[in-house]
Chains A and B, each alone.
Chain A
Amino acid sequence: MSDQDRVEKPALGIMERGYRGAVEKQFFDAFYLAAELHRHPGGLDLLLRGQAATHAVRARPTPSLRLGDTELDTVTDSRVNLRNLIEAGVRVWVEESALAAFGFAAPLDDVLMDGIRVAADGELALRWPEYRAVYFL
């Protein structure tokens, strides 16, 4: 394998935790880092598991938050951030058992956001050797 082959492999991002500071982070969150990593040679695949699996589930937009006299409409909306990643070309998987733990089971077409792929347990772990790097986000 040449060096050129090696740098063009994608990296795998694994996101297990969600909801890490809507007011503090607003936009500067794990999805923001993922967008940056996707700009690296080879781009990024992303696996959502654990609590983060719920980011892939369709939901209403995050409501604004009133603090003092301020209507804060820039709190984190994970689905908007995830949609931006997909539109940028990031391939996103969500682990089936993680969805099941939150009560989401097949058929999932009406449950998941468009463009999300479902992965069986361990499916992506078996593919780690195919990736240039694995990032726990």
Chain B
Amino acid sequence: MARRIPPTDVLITLMGSPNEDDRTTTALRLAQALLERGASVQIWTCGNATLLTQRGLTDDKPRNLASWNSAYPTTAALAQRMLKAFPDQLYWYGCRFCSDDRGAVDHLPEVVMRPPAGYAANVAAATRNLMVGVI
């Protein structure tokens, strides 16, 4: 039986690669702003953006040699904190094909991996769709 996708006000499809430009930052800022205003949001990652929520990233980035005692949260930690802060408003999905294709097979338990053919159901479940970047 097909998974039921909870309806949301906005779907943010993040296809742009992390570490290439500031699209990931923009997408997360936008999601946070929408959530703080009470909107419901689903994030769908494709391509290299599926790498954002790997558990292997752990909570903190590797140490900064120039600032040894500073802590820098990973994108996985930040995604988890966002999901925890907005439990009934934010959903995070990932494209299983893109993820498997990159060897990223161990995601946060809160992240729902979906087949590419399932994307249409996510689009249909959102009132507005915003695509950020391309694969």
Partners in one complex: yes
Q: Which residues of A contact B (CB under 8 A)?
A: 19-28, 32, 35, 65-70, 72, 74-75, 84
In the assembled complex, how far is the CB of residue B90 from the closest CB belonging to chain A, in whole angstroms? 9
Q: Are A70 and B19 in contact (CB under 8 A)?
A: no
CA of A23 to CA of B32, assembled, Å: 14
Q: Which of A65, A66, A68 has the most C-beta atoms of chain B within 10 angstroms of its own C-beta?
A: A68
| Interface members, chain B 12-38 (any A CB < 8 Å) | 18-22, 24-25, 28-29, 32, 36
Q: Which residue of A lies closest to B52 (CB)?
A: A24
CA of A66 to CA of B72, assembled, Å: 14
Name B75's contact: one of A23, A28, A68, A84 (CB within 8 Å): A23
Hey, which chain A residues are within 8 Å of B36, CB to CB? 66
Q: Are A72 and B78 in contact (CB under 8 A)?
A: yes
Q: A23-B75, A74-B70 are in contact. Are A28 and B61 (CB under 8 A)?
A: yes
In the assembled complex, how far is the CB of residue A15 from the closest CB belonging to chain B, in whole angstroms? 14
Q: Which residues of B contact A (CB under 8 A)?
A: 18-22, 24-25, 28-29, 32, 36, 52, 61-62, 64, 66-67, 70-73, 75, 78, 81-86
Q: Are A19 and B21 in contact (CB under 8 A)?
A: yes
CA of A84 to CA of B67, assembled, Å: 12
Hey, which chain A residues are within 8 Å of B86, CB to CB? 68
Given A20-B22, A23-B25, A65-B32, 16 further pairs, Cβ under 8 A: A20-B19, A21-B20, A21-B25, A24-B24, A24-B75, A26-B72, A27-B64, A27-B72, A32-B66, A35-B66, A65-B28, A66-B32, A67-B81, A68-B32, A69-B81, A70-B73
In the assembled complex, how far is the CB of residue B53 from the closest CB belonging to chain A, in whole angstroms? 12
Hey, which chain A residues are within 8 Å of B24, CB to CB? 21, 23-24
Q: Are B19 and A24 in contact (CB under 8 A)?
A: yes
In the assembled complex, how far is the CB of residue A83 from the closest CB belonging to chain B, in whole angstroms? 12
In the assembled complex, how far is the CB of residue A59 from the closest CB belonging to chain B, in whole angstroms? 15
Q: Are B85 and A68 in contact (CB under 8 A)?
A: yes
Q: Are A65 and B25 in contact (CB under 8 A)?
A: yes
Q: Are A21 and B73 in contact (CB under 8 A)?
A: no
Q: Are A22 and B25 in contact (CB under 8 A)?
A: yes
